[in-house]
Amino acid sequence: MSFESTNPARPAEVLGEYPEHTADDVDRAVLAAAEAQRAWARVPVPARADLITACGDELARRKRALSELVSRECGKPIVEAGGDVQEAIDMAYFVAGQGRSPWGDTVPSELGSKLAWTTRIPVGVVGMITPWNFPVAIPSWKCFPALLAGNGIVLKPSEHSPACAEAFFDACIAAGIPDGLLQLVHGYAEPAAALAVHPAVGAISFTGSVPTGRTVAAAAMATGPRLVSLELGGKNAMVVRDDADLDLAVDGAIFGAFGTAGQRCTSTSRLLVHPAVADELVSRIVARVEALRLGDPLDATTDVGPVINRASAERIVAMVAAAVDDGAKLAAGGTLRDDVEGCAGATFVTPTVLTGIKPSDRIAREEVFGPVLSVLEVEDLDEAIDVVNSVEFGLSAAVYSRDISTCLYAVERIDTGIVYVNAPTIGAEIPLPFGGTKHTGNGFREAGARGIEQFSQVKTVYVDYSGRLQRAQIDNREATQ
Ligand code: UN1
């Protein structure tokens, strides 16, 4: 059995045909990765890092072609596709630097002639399950630290982005990552489920929806234990106070809510605006929304591309229609369009602004994963912060104000993994951790100085060269009785 990957902007254009891998195929891939990993684990960490640098160089050489592929396979406007690939390049160089950075702790032992330190060791094979919306960046967040830690990899990319995953691995293999270390499996639930429970998989790293993440994690732990890291949804809010720079807030809302057609886990989906500036802010956002160009993502003048497929578009407009039934006012958008010029057969959702939303409304609580911005008017800052924190997710949030105290007050009280000040809810950079609180994740972070933790274990080492038994906590201490 096989499936096709198609261009969401022109579904008749097939990017490639991919096998639907079975549990047996996953078994073969894991065993091959495990075999290659045994030699890789003996390669000195700085030498692993050099190969990761080479991956960054190779990705940089291929940036244009890869960006076009991201745009064609996922429907991202070409400049955003370039950002996706650049994020992988940044990740390669950042992780490579970690290969020549501190790798553990040393402490003075409490006993003489004794050394004590920690080091990091691989888990063996890491299973990775990744979404289509950052089809190069997210695999890179997982693959480079996992490789640096000395692991083999089996990646199961989304069924919507197999070509990008192949192209990413292709660049890494061309850069010199040893044979067998990078294994790809394609398909839907079967290979993902098989990967999660394979006995030779030491860690599972999953990015996707909450329900699938729960299923994967439960299966992985029921047959574990093993390391399981989850990076799940978001319901990200932008708080705009009455003293905010509204030009900045408009730009932030447009890029935050409608970039990647709202299909980022960090998309801005709630706007919590002070009533004194609400009418002006909303009317300026709506004016900008009406000028956004829907079109072919490869065309540099396109602002908003199609959503990933028709089913997704239908789901999004149904959520908007349900919100309107519940009393929301449609200030812009809310329609499915399949007549956009040059994009035969593609489905777009017109960038949507809903006003009159209450914090308890479904549209204010559930992830939409589409170009929909819900506007809530909230006067009191504490109340705005409570509303930000009232949802089950905790990925990112933004606060817009000219007053430093307001900003820092909000930064301290907002319960999300990432907080932006006077910048939208998207735009994370590689050297700092990415991830969220509550149902967004289970505590691991991707990227940043500790991005390696989900792919490695700590080994603590004691060396006693005194030539006699020395007892910690006992020798050199007074017995109390
Ligand atoms: C995602 O939203 O799925 O911060 C990942 C950002 C990007 C990564 C987003 N650097 O928006």
CB 9 within 8 A of CB 72: yes
Q: Probe ligand 1: pick from 94, 255, 263, 264, max atoms within 8 Å of CB?
A: 264
Can you tell me which atom of ligand 1 is nearest the CA of 264?
2
The amino acid sitting at 343 is C
Beta bridge partners of 330: 354
Quick one: pLDDT at residue 481? Answer: 57
Q: Report the C-alpha gap between 381 and 414 in whole angstroms.
A: 11
Find the Cα–Cα–Cα–Cα dihedral 363, 357, 416, 334, rounded to 10°.
Answer: 50
Q: Is 287 exposed, middle or buried (0-12, 13-18, 19+ CB in 10 A)?
A: exposed
Quickly count: other Cβ atoms within 10 Å of residue 327's Cβ: 10
Can you tell me which atom of ligand 1 is nearest the CA of 266?
2
Question: Rounded to the nearest 5°, which phi and psi values hold at 204?
Answer: -120, 130
Q: Report the C-alpha gap between 389 and 419 in whole angstroms.
A: 12
Can you tell me which atom of ligand 1 is nearest the CA of 87?
10
C-alpha 34 to ligand 1 mean position (Å): 31
Ligand 1 neighbour 398 (Cβ under 6 A): no
CB 401 within 8 A of CB 381: no
- Pairing status of strand 2-7 against strand 396-400: unpaired
Beta bridge partners of 456: 122
- Pairing status of strand 236-240 against strand 268-273: parallel
Quick one: pLDDT at residue 278? Answer: 98
Ligand 1 neighbour 128 (Cβ under 6 A): no
pTM higher than the cut 0.75: yes
Q: Report the C-alpha gap between 137 and 424 in whole angstroms.
A: 19
Ligand 1 neighbour 264 (Cβ under 6 A): yes
Q: What class has domain 2-232+456-462?
A: alpha beta
Q: Which DSSP letter does residue 135 get?
A: T
C-alpha 56 to ligand 1 mean position (Å): 19
Q: Probe ligand 1: pick from 308, 396, 426, max atoms within 8 Å of CB?
A: 426
CB 308 within 8 A of CB 7: no
* pLDDT tens per residue across all 481 residues of the chain: 999 999 999 999 999 999 999 999 999 999 999 999 999 999 999 999 999 999 999 999 999 999 999 999 999 999 999 999 999 999 999 999 999 999 999 999 999 999 999 999 999 999 999 999 999 999 999 999 999 999 999 999 999 999 999 999 999 999 999 999 999 999 999 999 999 999 999 999 999 999 999 999 999 999 999 999 999 999 999 999 999 999 999 999 999 999 999 999 999 999 999 999 999 999 999 999 999 999 999 999 999 999 999 999 999 999 999 999 999 999 999 999 999 999 999 999 999 999 999 999 999 999 999 999 999 999 999 999 999 999 999 999 999 999 999 999 999 999 999 999 999 999 999 999 999 999 999 999 999 999 999 999 999 999 999 999 999 999 988 876 5
Q: Report the C-alpha gap between 207 and 307 in whole angstroms.
A: 19
First CA to last CA across the chain, in angstroms? 73
Q: Report the C-alpha gap between 134 and 434 in whole angstroms.
A: 14
Catalytic residues: 231, 265
DSSP secondary structure letters along 150-193: T-EEEEEE-TT-HHHHHHHHHHHHHTTPPTTSEEE--SSHHHHH
CB 235 within 8 A of CB 365: yes
Tokens encoding 395: 């990925």
Quick one: pLDDT at residue 4? Answer: 98
Q: Which run of H or of E encompasses 36? A: helix 23-40
* Domain assignments of the chain as residue spans, ordered by start: 2-232+456-462, 236-421
C-alpha 392 to ligand 1 mean position (Å): 19
Ligand 1 neighbour 87 (Cβ under 6 A): yes
Q: Is 171 left (phi over 0), alpha (psi -120 to 50) or beta?
A: alpha
Quick one: pLDDT at residue 411? Answer: 98
Tokens encoding 343: 């994009």
Q: Report the C-alpha gap between 282 and 375 in whole angstroms.
A: 8
Q: Probe ligand 1: pick from 134, 206, 207, 416, max atoms within 8 Å of CB?
A: 134
Can you tell me which atom of ligand 1 is nearest the CA of 427?
4
- Pairing status of strand 396-400 against strand 236-240: parallel
* Residue closest to 124 by CA, chosen among 43, 224, 219, 203: 203
* Residue closest to 271 by CA, chosen among 356, 338, 343, 164: 356
Ligand 1 neighbour 433 (Cβ under 6 A): no
The upper half-sphere exposure of residue 435, i.e. CA atoms within 13 Å in the direction of its Cβ, equals 25
Ligand 1 neighbour 427 (Cβ under 6 A): yes
Beta bridge partners of 129: 156, 206
Nearest CA to ligand 1 atom 8: 428
C-alpha 426 to ligand 1 mean position (Å): 6
Nearest CA to ligand 1 atom 11: 426
- Pairing status of strand 437-438 against strand 393-394: antiparallel
Quick one: pLDDT at residue 479? Answer: 73
Ligand 1 neighbour 129 (Cβ under 6 A): no
Can you tell me which atom of ligand 1 is nearest the CA of 395?
2
| Residues 245-261 as b or e (16 or more Cβ within 10 Å = b) | ebeebbebbbbbbbbbb
CB 175 within 8 A of CB 425: no
The three-state secondary structure class of 374 is: strand
C-alpha 190 to ligand 1 mean position (Å): 27
The three-state secondary structure class of 37 is: helix
- CA 258 to chain centroid, in Å, comes to 17
Ligand 1 neighbour 134 (Cβ under 6 A): yes
Q: What class has domain 236-421?
A: alpha beta
Q: Which DSSP letter does residue 455 get?
A: G
Quick one: pLDDT at residue 454? Answer: 97
Tokens encoding 190: 């079967």
The amino acid sitting at 139 is P
